Amino acid sequence: MEIFFTTLNLVLLVALAAIYVQLYRDLPNKYTASLLVLSLALLLYAGTSNPVVHNVFGFRPRPNIGAFVFLPDFFIGLAILVLLYQSQT
């Protein structure tokens, strides 16, 4: 489940960052710049929290503590969906 949610977040954040880059090109101000920085920070989080990335770089897996492993990624995914919805309206 964790791999699914972190990969989904990564894909959604790439789309969100692309939207914010276009928005910043059309309307360069502090607010759109901060949205772009926020999406890039979340993109870095999603990339570094993915268990596949941990395995590729040889890090030990996190201990399995049930649902608490993927719940933070699930809630971040919900926040990303809200940001995507807000950027489309």
Residue-level pLDDT at 49: 83
| Positive or negative torsion for Cα 16, 86, 49, 7 | negative
Residue-level pLDDT at 1: 80
Spatial separation of the C-alpha atoms in residues 18 and 87, rounded to whole Å: 11
CB atoms within 10 A of CB 34: 12
Spatial separation of the C-alpha atoms in residues 19 and 28, rounded to whole Å: 13
Spatial separation of the C-alpha atoms in residues 43 and 58, rounded to whole Å: 21
Residue-level pLDDT at 26: 93
Residue-level pLDDT at 89: 64
Tell me the two tokens of residue 15: 């789309």
| Confidence at 62, pLDDT banded by 50, 70, 90 | low
| Per-residue model confidence as pLDDT tens digits over 3-50 | 888 899 999 999 999 999 999 999 999 999 999 999 999 999 888 888
